[in-house]
Amino acid sequence: MKLVLVGTGYVGLVSGSCFAEFGYDVTCVDKDKSRILELKKGKCPFFEPGIEELLSKHRDQTKLLSFTSSLPEAMEGADIIFITVGTPSKRLEEDADLSAVWNVAKDIANNIKKYSLVVTKSTVPVGTTKEIKKIISKIVPKENFDVVSNPEFLREGSAINDFMRPDRIIIGADNEKSTKIMKELYRPLYLLETPIITSSIESSEIIKYASNSFLATKISFINQVADLCESVGADVQEVAKGMGVDKRIGSKFLNAGPGFGGSCFPKDVKAFTSSAKKQNINFSILEAVNSYNQNRPLEISKKIINLKKYNKNSKLALFGLSFKPNTDDIRDSTSLKIAQHLFDQGIMINCYDPVSNDNTMDLFPKFNFFKNAYEASEGADAIIIGTEWNEFRALNFLKLKSLMKNLVIFDLRNIYNKQELSDLGFEYYGIGK
């Protein structure tokens, strides 16, 4: 089978290299010529554990993976074309910006020469895949193509494992022929007994948004419980543990913190709410999740400032800039939103992230950047744990003690033990305790 993936971001590149690992002939396309040039040279445009090895294996050894900025060239003889471009929020609206999807749909339509399956892997609002079908059918006879929705659930930081060992595959199709092709595509996962769930195209599109929105709701729920815990002297980690052992609830996504961020949850919650609004459906739960989460970074930064009366003479060390560990993706990073609020009050920000310093520097040139956590802590009035990279769990606190001006830790990810740090002389503030 010959596959084409249009868009070489986290989803396109990871899916493309994993499909090559399945044994398919894969071409990844991007309109960004410099990105394609780098990929041809063997450089991955982002940090993702294991991706460099997989890319080089299939680009250089098996030759199953190639890159181009020309869609017509990529589509020569293609059986399945995946749309894997970004669908960010529109600038001032909740809606998803689908301009890249529409552009790709038109380009694909112009290049279909034999029967091809067009698959939306990008996260798109309900109705989009059928709209793509309409766009293509203006140019291509209906017997020459089908459209399918096949949303992606990989998580940055563990994307390869998530793709190779998914919890489920969702196939939203409107005929047997395309369902059969998609089932054949994912045949390598049958050995793992991966559930393959078939549905209508509309249900498939909603499954993706409903899943992400549900997880985001779980996070906001535990964050509100954390607020209550803080007020009454309870500990949200004890509460979450007691809740999580209930199999109906589950322990995942019950870690209280500074709010959800990243390239998916915030925009998907908004786009899902917007889809519901357009149908006059009451989605007040998600509206509340969105507004509470949007305010949370500001509330946390106010709390930090008020607790110690920080001002323009203060210097805070921020550890972790990416929206979560094991990625260099800083899109909608909560850690950086908090840093910006603190900076707006005149506080100096000393940053360190194991892989995201360079990305962040371009967007936040007024922060100070350091090569490691210790350098960032020199003369600092406090440390803020913004993202729970593993290396922050094993810091040398005696060394930090000798470098910092004031021994205060704001552990926004609850990775430390309060007693242990207090014993070392640190003033410790976690979330929800």
Binding site for ligand NAD (CB under 6 A): 6-12, 29-32, 35, 84-87, 100, 103-104, 122-123, 152, 154-156, 263-264
Question: Among residues 45 and 258, whose Cβ is nearest to ligand NAD?
Answer: 45
Question: Among residues 156 and 388, whose Cβ is nearest to ligand NAD?
Answer: 156
Question: Among residues 70 and 368, whose Cβ is nearest to ligand NAD?
Answer: 70
Q: Three-state SS string across the chain, please?
A: CEEEEECCCHHHHHHHHHHHHHCCEEEEECCCHHHHHHHHHCCCCCCCCCHHHHHHHHHHHCCCEEEECCHHHHCCCCCEEEECCCCCECCCCCCECCHHHHHHHHHHHCCCCCCEEEEECCCCCCCHHHHHHHHHHCCCCHHHEEEEECCCCCCCCCHHHHHHCCCCEEEECCCHHHHHHHHHHCHHHHHHCCCEEEECHHHHHHHHHHHHHHHHHHHHHHHHHHHHHHHHCCCHHHHHHHHHCCCCCCCCCCCCCCCCCCCCHHHHHHHHHHHHHHCCCCCHHHHHHHHHHHHHHHHHHHHHHHHHCCCCCCEEEEECCCCCCCCCCCCCCHHHHHHHHHHHCCCEEEEECCCCHHHHHHHCCCCEECCCHHHHHCCCCEEEECCCCHHHHHCCHHHHHHHCCCCEEEECCCCCCHHHHHHCCCEEECCCC
**Residue 92: CB minimum distance to ligand NAD, A:** 19
**Residue 153: CB minimum distance to ligand NAD, A:** 6
Active-site residue (options: 18, 229, 264, 351):
264
**Residue 422: CB minimum distance to ligand NAD, A:** 37
Euclidean distance between CA atoms 218 and 215, whole angstroms: 5
264 catalytic residue (yes or no): yes
**Residue 83: CB minimum distance to ligand NAD, A:** 9
**Residue 12: CB minimum distance to ligand NAD, A:** 6
Question: Among residues 122 and 414, whose Cβ is nearest to ligand NAD?
Answer: 122
**Residue 10: CB minimum distance to ligand NAD, A:** 4
Question: Among residues 216 and 400, whose Cβ is nearest to ligand NAD?
Answer: 216
Q: Which residues of 56-75 are buried (b: 16+ CB within 10 A; e: fewer)?
A: eebbeeeebbbbbbebeebb
Question: Among residues 4 and 395, whose Cβ is nearest to ligand NAD?
Answer: 4
**Residue 131: CB minimum distance to ligand NAD, A:** 15
Question: Among residues 54 and 154, whose Cβ is nearest to ligand NAD?
Answer: 154
- Positions annotated as catalytic residues are 264
